[in-house]
Amino acid sequence: MQARMQPTGMTQRNSWFSLPRPNPQARLRLFCFPYAGGTSAIYRAWPQELPASVEVLTAQLPGRVHRLNEPPFSNIVPLVEAIAAALPPYLDKPFAFFGHSMGALISFELARHLRRTRGLEPVQLFVSGRSAPQLPPNTPSLHDLPEPEFIKELRALNGTPAEVLEHPELMHLMTPLLRADFSVVGTYQYEPEPPLSCPITAFGGLGDEKISRERVAQWSEQTSGAFTLRMLPGDHFFINTGRALLLRLLSQDLHRHL
């Protein structure tokens, strides 16, 4: 039997997960993983708009906020292994994963890792703003671009605030982290495995010019269970501009497991 630890550990410094709103009576935990360059703050307000019986845990990856002095990961395999090593104290309840862009890839590989090593799967996997993992990339890798091209691509993605892009000192601080995160995505090598048995819901942006509906729809190949495709208004970062609609749909799916 696994030793059970108190959820208060999730609020300690240098931990992998933050707990915006502790909920000891929760019946399900939702782990949320950020996009490249993102922090746990992306999901800080989510507990207020999700079912009361859901406890939200937000992943804080190395290289940011209180983990600023820790080197960021640049490859998904050791990153997933490190996250998985931090999960056991929080697996005493049913759980689901949500990830956007890079976070979708992390949550998918984490689900497969848990199945291989513990025989566990989330009750549902939510992937957002990411092509199905078995598809070949349709855009060039960003992590090794020269500085001018790298900044240009960041502007096109529309996820980095203009005040950061136009501030040389901030960019000097942010660039190593961003390059490492984009390396996690750019060096990813898909390895075929049987589909997950948990349901998968895949979200895409109707205005996302690089990740089409067709590429999001092919997440259906990664589950032997139910699959739902939801295309929402907005570009690649519809997770921010269309948060209210996204959370309503997420709540509907989570209610089915409660």
Q: Name the 3-class secondary structure at 222.
A: helix
Conformational region of residue 3, where left means phi above 0, alpha means psi within -120 to 50, and beta covers everything else:
beta
CATH architecture of 25-136+192-255: 3-Layer(aba) Sandwich (3.40)
Q: What is the pLDDT of residue 177?
A: 87
Q: What is the pLDDT of residue 158?
A: 63
Q: What is the pLDDT of residue 6?
A: 39
The Cα 114–Cα 48 span in angstroms is 29
Domain ranges of the chain: 25-136+192-255
Helix (H) or strand (E) holding 82: helix 76-86
Q: Is 128 a catalytic residue?
A: no
The Cα 138–Cα 159 span in angstroms is 19
First-to-last C-alpha distance (Å) of the chain: 24
Q: What is the pLDDT of residue 37?
A: 87
* Bridge partners (DSSP) listed for residue 258: none
Which residue in the list 18, 40, 74, 101 is annotated as catalytic?
101
Q: What is the pLDDT of residue 197?
A: 98
Q: What is the pLDDT of residue 233?
A: 97
Write the single-letter amino acid at 186: G
Q: What is the pLDDT of residue 86?
A: 96
Q: What is the pLDDT of residue 258?
A: 83
The Cα 206–Cα 104 span in angstroms is 18
Query: Inter-axis angle of helices 102-118 and 168-186, to 10 degrees?
Result: 40
Conformational region of residue 158, where left means phi above 0, alpha means psi within -120 to 50, and beta covers everything else:
left
pLDDT beneath 70: ranges in the chain: 1-14, 140, 143-146, 148, 156-168, 171-172
Q: Which residues contact 122 (CB under 8 A, 6 or more apart)?
A: 95, 96, 97, 111, 114, 198
